[in-house]
């Protein structure tokens, strides 16, 4: 690290205020049930949870948008929810933020995705999901494409957050790419394996290890697979997240491993949302892929030390970066 970077880090964070991201992807509600366990059920070999707290947070692409604004930038969020209570909660929460331009569409035939986690003593005991993973109807798809085409304000970067819930399709990607090329806007992708081959020429492609291994050449070692895959698909930057082992970065013929920096993992939920948000912001203001990945790795460690899906705090990230420099 250079002394100049240490001096400039505050100014770099200040530059975020001038940036505006378009975030497109699956929106969901993350619910949490917290309780104590002191006995096993006599009805089945399962723990009995005595509930002490319940709360919920916005997740998926909405959490990406929250990370973006938490660091001082602005975000336009496009996604779909159902005409149900979770959907209304999501729209209400997003509507309270002045820095998120929420363009969420209600699909009356769709159920809002809800992930519910049951925890005790910082350990996840159970997760159950309520969702509808079918592709969007033509009517809803056209509404989303119209929202994209009608954006008049300046967009500096696009983040696609695909959780495989049916929003992202070849058709929609074509529309996003046209918008990107017309305005020369970089695209940052957090993919699901179904559309891996459709994201070529993205600025950043950020799969997790399981998703990456699904398509990578199994006959090669991991480093060779990363290099081969990146060149094959014409990604400018490939960042593979490895869970507790950190992440691996490949760009400009450079391969770099970043060990995880988390002291104690409480909850990994939403860490991938934080990684792509932080990387995209630092990349957009001109930092190198190596430094952007390093800072996103630090940010992921911070959110993993918290319970529940939360955006990284600007003050916490700035402090950690300054300590490192």
Segment 51-62 shows an average pLDDT of 93
Largest CA distance in the chain: 64
Lowest mean pLDDT among 148-162, 172-186, 214-228, 235-249: 214-228
pLDDT exceeds 90 at position 83: yes
- List of residues 6+ apart from 180 with CB closer than 8 A: 158, 186, 187
Phi, psi angles (nearest 5°) of residue 58:
-75, 140
Q: Alpha-carbon distance 68 to 55, whole Å?
A: 22
Tokens standing for 133? Answer: 């993973």
Confidence of residue 226 (pLDDT cuts 50, 70, 90): confident
Over the stretch 22-51, which tens digit does the pLDDT of each residue have? 999 999 999 999 999 999 999 999 999 999
Rounded to whole angstroms, how far apart are CA atoms 237 and 228? 12
Structure tokens at 188: 């940052």
Residue 47 lies in a domain: no
**Containing H/E element for 203?**
none
Q: Give the H or E element holding residue 71.
A: none
Interstrand relation of 20-25 and 157-161 (parallel, antiparallel or unpaired): parallel
Q: Is residue 287 part of a domain?
A: yes
For residue 75, the SS3 value is: strand
Percentage of the chain exceeding pLDDT 90: 62
Confidence band (pLDDT; 50, 70, 90) for 225? confident
Confidence of residue 1 (pLDDT cuts 50, 70, 90): very low
The CATH number of whichever domain residue 173 belongs to comes to 3.40.1190.20
Nearest to 237 by CA among 255, 213, 261, 218: 255
Residue 267 falls in the annotated catalytic set: no
| Contact between 30 and 128 (Cβ < 8 Å) | no
Query: Would residue 37 count as lying in a domain?
Result: no
Structural domain contains residue 53: no
Interatomic CA distance for residues 41 and 89, integer angstroms: 33
What is the crossing angle of helices 85-95 and 61-70, to 10°? Answer: 20
Q: Is residue 42 part of a domain?
A: no
Q: Is the dihedral of CA 95, 100, 101, 102 positive or negative?
A: negative
- Residues 38 and 291 sit within 8 Å (Cβ to Cβ): no
Tokens 């950190």 locate to 246
Instruction: State the residue for tokens 């992930």.
Output: 115
CA proximity to 274, closest of 299, 291, 252:
299
Read off the DSSP letter of residue 135. Answer: P
Residue corresponding to tokens 């695909």: 162
Rounded distance between C-alpha atoms, residue 204 and residue 236, angstroms: 6
Q: How many domains does the chain have?
A: 1
Residue 113 is assigned to a structural domain of this protein: yes
CA distance 224 to 245: 18
Residue 50 lies in a domain: no
Catalytic residue among 30, 162, 267, 273: 273
Does pLDDT of 262 surpass 80?
Answer: no
The pLDDT tens digits for 278-319 are 999 999 999 999 999 999 999 998 888 777 778 899 989 988
**Residues forming a β-bridge with 146:** none
Q: Which of 137, 213, 136 is nearest to 168 (CA)?
A: 136
Split at pLDDT 50, 70, 90, the class of 4 is low
Q: Per the structure block, which two tokens stand in for 51?
A: 């509930």
Task: Tell me the sheet residues that pair with 9.
Answer: none
Quote the pTM value: 0.92
45 within a domain of the structure (yes/no): no
Please give the residue range of the domain that contains residue 186.
Answer: 3-28+58-324
With a cut of 80, say whether residue 139 has pLDDT above it: yes
CA-to-CA distance for 205 and 18, rounded, in angstroms?
Answer: 24
């Amino acid at each position: 690290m250079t002394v100049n970077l240490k001096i400039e880090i505050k100014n770099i964070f200040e530059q975020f205020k001038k940036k505006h991201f378009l975030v497109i992807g699956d929106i969901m509600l993350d619910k949490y049930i917290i309780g104590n366990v002191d006995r096993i059920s006599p009805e089945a070999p399962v723990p009995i949870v005595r509930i002490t707290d319940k709360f919920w947070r916005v997740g998926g692409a909405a959490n990406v948008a929250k990370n973006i604004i938490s660091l001082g930038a602005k975000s336009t969020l496009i996604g779909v929810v159902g005409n149900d209570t979770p959907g209304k909660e999501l729209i209400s929460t997003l509507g309270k933020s002045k820095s998120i331009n929420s363009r969420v569409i209600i699909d009356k035939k769709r159920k809002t995705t809800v992930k519910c986690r049951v925890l005790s003593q910082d350990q996840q005991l159970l997760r159950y999901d309520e969702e509808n993973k079918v592709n969007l109807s033509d009517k809803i798809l056209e509404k989303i494409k119209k929202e994209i085409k009608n954006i008049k304000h300046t967009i500096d970067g696009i983040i696609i957050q695909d959780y495989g819930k049916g929003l992202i399709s070849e058709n929609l990607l074509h529309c996003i790419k046209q918008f990107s090329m017309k305005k020369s806007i970089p695209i940052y992708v957090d993919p699901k394996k179904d559309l891996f081959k459709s994201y070529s020429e993205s600025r950043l492609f950020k799969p997790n290890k399981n998703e990456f291994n699904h398509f990578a050449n199994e006959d090669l070692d991991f480093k060779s697979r990363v290099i081969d895959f990146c060149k094959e698909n014409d990604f400018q930057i490939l960042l593979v997240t490895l869970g507790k082992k950190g992440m691996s970065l490949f760009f400009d013929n450079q391969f770099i491993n970043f060990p995880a920096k988390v002291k104690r993992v409480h909850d990994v939920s939403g860490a991938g949302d934080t990684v792509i948000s932080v990387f995209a912001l630092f990349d957009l203001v001109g930092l190198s892929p190596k430094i952007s990945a390093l800072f996103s790795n630090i940010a992921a460690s911070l959110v993993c030390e918290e319970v529940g899906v939360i955006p990284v705090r600007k003050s916490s990230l700035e402090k950690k970066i300054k300590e490192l420099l």
